């Protein structure tokens, strides 16, 4: 059993698959905090405000594809682990392409009866990469939430004149510099 609290974003539209996945996660993780969404907009919101440790996503969703979800996740945090859990992809080439696109793992839904066995090593890999110091992880998460909310606000701000656009650009650059120095600090910790 994984003892470190794990924040998981599950992108899935099939209620039965959500229940099976949640039950399996609870068997593997002592303190899971799972948020479930089924579209890009909700996913984007959770990436900004929830800051998961890992994203598990179906490939075929009603309003988008899993690759679109993966691209959104990579835009927000290129290092965030991403696992496909899908029944749509049957061919090995497409599975390989999802891994090449940046997914950390891939599980076919035809293996749902063995989901615990398939998911366990992928989640252990996520935990292995995580900082062991929970206090630092939580502070970093809070900083990411604040930075993401500021970036989201700035992206949605209607800038009508050149001066506003320049100021927004300066703020975004300052945030990027802060993120880079914070990432350096977290690597040293």
Span 79-131, pLDDT tens digits: 899 998 877 655 566 666 777 778 888 887 777 888 889 899 999 888 887 75
- Specify which residues 106 forms β-bridges with: 84
Among 172, 181, 6, 2, which residue's Cα sits nearest to residue 80? 6
CATH number for region 6-129:
3.40.50.2300
pLDDT score for 180: 79
What is the distance of C-alpha 188 from the center of its chain? 23
């Amino acid at each position: 059993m994984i003892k470190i609290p794990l924040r998981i974003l599950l992108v899935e539209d099939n209620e039965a698959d959500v229940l099976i996945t949640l039950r399996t996660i609870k068997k593997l993780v002592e303190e899971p905090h799972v948020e479930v969404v089924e579209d890009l907009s909700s996913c984007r919101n959770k990436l900004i405000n929830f800051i998961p440790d890992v994203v598990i996503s179906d490939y075929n969703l009603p309003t988008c594809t899993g690759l679109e979800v993966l691209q959104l996740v990579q835009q927000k945090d290129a290092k965030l682990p991403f696992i496909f859990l899908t029944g749509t992809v049957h061919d090995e080439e497409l599975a390989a392409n999802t891994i090449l696109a940046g997914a950390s793992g891939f599980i076919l839904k035809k293996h749902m009866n063995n989901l615990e066995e398939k998911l366990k090593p992928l989640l252990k890999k996520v935990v292995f990469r995580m900082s062991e110091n929970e206090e630092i992880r939580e502070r970093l998460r809070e900083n990411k939430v604040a930075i993401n909310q500021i970036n989201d606000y700035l992206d949605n701000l209607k800038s009508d004149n050149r001066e506003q656009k320049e100021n927004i650009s300066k703020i975004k650059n300052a945030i990027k510099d802060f993120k880079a120095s914070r990432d350096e600090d977290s690597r040293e910790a």
